[in-house]
Structure 1
């Protein structure tokens, strides 16, 4: 059993990995895993009937040799580079049929060897041996895949199955083994079905076992995607996750082996099942709360409880059946676990539905952001062509998501993804309509301004979905696995600081004016001081929207971002200054609640916000240590007063586009010259492909400059 189990778990690892490599689809991985289990539902009772008619150790030998043949064939095909998905599914289905025969014979053979009184500890010892094999098989398969490829791993699996079959050559049928009375095979099957109608406990045990298989053990279908796409640990990481399943089983069964005969077994079985369900909830959260080692620990607990549930199901089924039906009782258990593919397919389908939506959704949002950056009136037609294919690319997966059935406890994820997808399609439609009348720039800007609302709706899913979390980082930081893990863990923590971080708003609903929004990095430890960026929106803009122009970069660099909203439609560029006192009060309010690095307080802004950044930032007593106006001008009022004297030695990062149609680049050059004359420490960035739009690709450079 130990050698065969090495092959069985090794097959699980290489099957999941090879299928994911060929298809890149969690759904297909679920189908492939289902092919290992589906035959059990259909052939479980017939297999049990065979185990009652033939010497059970010979049945086990036949099943092991057959599985060696199926996995060895896959190994040769993969080594030669000829393996296809059809090969994998058909040969795995054949192996699953043989596995059903093995499972049905194994339980009753243990009863033959140890007797009913010692059945529970006997099955437990067998389970420990099997899971020790799983441990070796999972780690070994992961290592072989990483070094030699999936073909070599399948050949190693075949060797394990063959060695397990050979080890039974010297075995014999125990004297206590009871063979079924001579009768036709079909009458054997019918006879067991009749016994199920009269023994309701057998039916209840089968239903409970089936529920555990569908809802519990189906988590293994997600392990390949978890290892590769979430934890990013590769095939060796997948091997470790499966090894954790084996270790958990060993621990659970070791405890069970110390028990005597089952007393109150039914109540114990139900208790273990409930605990198993609770541990699965913890496993669902673990990748987003703890690192790889923590996920391994949770998997150990999950599978310790799962092994106990499995053991109790087997022993109770065997003890509830008369001696001549024990093989068929094992077959009933096989039928119950044969329902596992339903759970594996559902798990795989949910993961597939999410992946199918996220990929085109994030690609579409990236294109919208690109169009926003390169928006220029003469290029409207070309920019519309960039966005045009995304309507079709996103609509299909979104419809599939709408039509899919989700568990109630995951419904909120589905609804939020649908909301984000529909808002994104609205942006595409609005931009396409506005592009047909390119002289109306207002409608184009309105269409793109909706991007902020989409980001606000999507951001709460960042800790749940790795691709979303990475999208909310500037491109240079998206490959930083350590940063992504740190952000995930920080976002899901539960302490006093957790309520003080993230995206916060103070009287800043979109229908109101004069409030502010604030981003506090989720990774803030409650003590470290942070730079503060105060970012001013353009004319007719809103601070709640402009926050998203800075969040990506701030999130990766532990930086506070404060985005006020002007009292009027734009900043106080004419008449009484009603905005500066409020902005200064906001800065002090934030500094009173969070440790602001007073040597790094930046005031920046776009268009009217850039112009006002000069006015507000050069006020007497202003707290700003750095200025970074973008696409604005030097306000004439500054030239008529001595305010420019305050610019001496002040670091100023000035950004302007050569294509700016609202404030021609000549105004920026004049500003540069004036500020240089008064002694400001100028960094001047004149960008040749920038029109009158926010250059958020400058944000990382500005933050590096601020930190210097």
Structure 2
């Protein structure tokens, strides 16, 4: 498809549905296209790297996979205040050009070790840690950059479309990687990922800087501490971050759980493992489309997402066959991504623009920084108790968290929950403040 045709298609979509409203912004269209290519490469890399560790560098050790995941995110919680301050102080587009280039170079070096046949497990550990350091700055910059490409009214839509890009790539990448591994080994998928970073770099370079609307850069000392202090005085943000911490730390560990279930429970090869990621992406892509259509995130969406993830993941852990396990990954992925995108939008839209970079740095550190805790635990449970018990750790954590949050809101914020029967059923969740505001707006003369 030519660039002109693709642009025309995107414009038609954006004019025809609010789902694609952010595509009306030229800079965002470039960003979306670059991210789609780069994310596809990232999923190919993850699938290839997992297979390398699981079958070539270890004897199907889920603990080793857990260590790799932990090292990828180990630096994030420690660097989050600094990364947020850097994101708010420097132009985000230039910062992203630096981080994307560094990430591309590190993947190139790892590919060279794999292609030459000299790679060892400690190499994978080392590059996972280094990439995690770079990602500590890349992630908050990417999250905060959304608000510079689109107007405030489209932030929620753009966050949903970002998730759609990520999960569309998840639909494509693992399946292609599995086929490449079966035919040629793990090296080709890693090389494609290296090349895919060029798409994101090209998109950033091609943007019109005059059409961006950045917040005024923050100067001076203490800016990192200000971000933490801001969050400390926002119980609504803290509540959201607690929920996504438990989901990200113990729930969304498919990199480990799918690999163990595919190889040790259902005895599948690389194509079967890659296909699990592709099938699950049907649900995550649908979730991203749902998120893109929502104008404003709601508390009820978080509750429904966490509950749905808990129930569907329990069912997947008990699945009797490969096919049933794969099918149950669809609702699990859908509810997980609904929760994540809703939480992301709530944090971004509820934060002052001048502090958004620092708050998003803390948010990303909480979402991903729990992995150094959760991934080794998940991997250890898989080695000691078995893959099915490993999968059950996630819904146990998210289920208890959901009950705890609901109990807290009922006691301290007058939470009210009502389920409307019918199809589809609707769950309504209000705090006392929201209910009072709705009643006041409904009064005559207001």
Kept in 2: contact 1:9–1:138 (CA 8 A): yes
In the alignment, does 2:306 pair up with 1:273? yes
Residue 172 of structure 1: how far off its partner (Å) = 4.3
Larger Cα-atom Rg: 1
- CA 1:267/1:145 → structure 2, altered by over 3 Å: closer, same or farther? same
Kept in 2: contact 1:16–1:29 (CA 8 A): yes
Unpaired segments ≥5 residues, structure 1: 357-405, 411-708
- Structure 1 distance, partners of 2:279, 2:306, is 19
The within-5 A match list for 1:608-623 is: none
In the alignment, does 2:217 pair up with 1:180? yes
Residue 51 of structure 1: how far off its partner (Å) = 1.6
Kept in 2: contact 1:4–1:165 (CA 8 A): no
Equivalent in 47, 54, 57 of residue 20 of structure 1? 54
- CA 1:11/1:43 → structure 2, altered by over 3 Å: closer, same or farther? farther
Higher strand share: 1
Residue 76 of structure 1: how far off its partner (Å) = 0.9
The within-5 A match list for 1:363-378 is: none
Corresponding position of 1:143? 179
- Select the structure with the greater relative contact order (CA < 8 A; seq sep ≥ 6): 2
- Structure 2 distance, partners of 1:98, 1:179, is 24
Residue 284 of structure 1: how far off its partner (Å) = 0.8
- Structure 2 distance, partners of 1:89, 1:327, is 29
In the alignment, does 2:104 pair up with 1:72? no
Equivalent in 252, 260, 265 of residue 230 of structure 1? 265
In the alignment, does 2:156 pair up with 1:123? no
Corresponding position of 2:240? 205
Kept in 2: contact 1:70–1:92 (CA 8 A): no
- CA 1:339/1:222 → structure 2, altered by over 3 Å: closer, same or farther? same
Corresponding position of 1:512? none
Equivalent in 308, 324, 338 of residue 308 of structure 1? 338
- CA 1:408/1:65 → structure 2, altered by over 3 Å: closer, same or farther? closer
- Structure 2 distance, partners of 1:159, 1:281, is 38
**Partner-residue secondary structure (3-state), 2:294:** coil
Equivalent in 207, 210, 216 of residue 171 of structure 1? 207
In the alignment, does 2:115 pair up with 1:82? no
Corresponding position of 1:194? 229
1:52-72 deviation digits (Å, cap 9, x = unpaired): 122212222222221211111
- Structure 2 distance, partners of 1:206, 1:311, is 12
1:554-591 deviation digits (Å, cap 9, x = unpaired): xxxxxxxxxxxxxxxxxxxxxxxxxxxxxxxxxxxxxx
Residue 303 of structure 1: how far off its partner (Å) = 0.8
- Structure 2 distance, partners of 1:131, 1:242, is 10
Corresponding position of 2:285? 250
- Structure 2 distance, partners of 1:246, 1:162, is 24
Kept in 2: contact 1:218–1:341 (CA 8 A): no
1:574-629 deviation digits (Å, cap 9, x = unpaired): xxxxxxxxxxxxxxxxxxxxxxxxxxxxxxxxxxxxxxxxxxxxxxxxxxxxxxxx
- Structure 2 distance, partners of 1:129, 1:408, is 25
- CA 1:56/1:345 → structure 2, altered by over 3 Å: closer, same or farther? same
- Structure 2 distance, partners of 1:300, 1:224, is 16
Residue 315 of structure 1: how far off its partner (Å) = 0.8
- Structure 2 distance, partners of 1:293, 1:9, is 22
Corresponding position of 2:89? 53
Equivalent in 268, 288, 293 of residue 323 of structure 2? 293
Pairs aligned (count):
354
Corresponding position of 1:31? 67
- Structure 2 distance, partners of 1:113, 1:202, is 24
Corresponding position of 2:381? 350
Residue 197 of structure 1: how far off its partner (Å) = 2.1
- Structure 2 distance, partners of 1:33, 1:408, is 16
- Structure 1 distance, partners of 2:58, 2:302, is 38
- Structure 2 distance, partners of 1:109, 1:349, is 37
In the alignment, does 2:307 pair up with 1:283? no
- Structure 2 distance, partners of 1:64, 1:139, is 24
Unpaired segments ≥5 residues, structure 2: 1-34, 397-446
Residue 349 of structure 1: how far off its partner (Å) = 0.3
Corresponding position of 1:616? none
- Structure 1 distance, partners of 2:94, 2:176, is 28
- Structure 1 distance, partners of 2:386, 2:348, is 43
Higher helix share: 2
The within-5 A match list for 1:592-671 is: none
State the TM-score, normalized to the length of structure 1.
0.48
- Structure 2 distance, partners of 1:49, 1:101, is 10
- CA 1:132/1:327 → structure 2, altered by over 3 Å: closer, same or farther? same
State the TM-score, normalized to the length of structure 2.
0.75
Residue 409 of structure 1: how far off its partner (Å) = 10
- CA 1:407/1:69 → structure 2, altered by over 3 Å: closer, same or farther? closer
- CA 1:248/1:146 → structure 2, altered by over 3 Å: closer, same or farther? same
Equivalent in 215, 221, 230 of residue 256 of structure 2? 221
- Structure 1 distance, partners of 2:108, 2:342, is 34
- CA 1:11/1:35 → structure 2, altered by over 3 Å: closer, same or farther? farther
Corresponding position of 2:3? none
Kept in 2: contact 1:120–1:260 (CA 8 A): yes
Any runs of at least 4 consecutive aligned residues in structure 1 with deviations exceeding 6 A, and if so which? 406-410
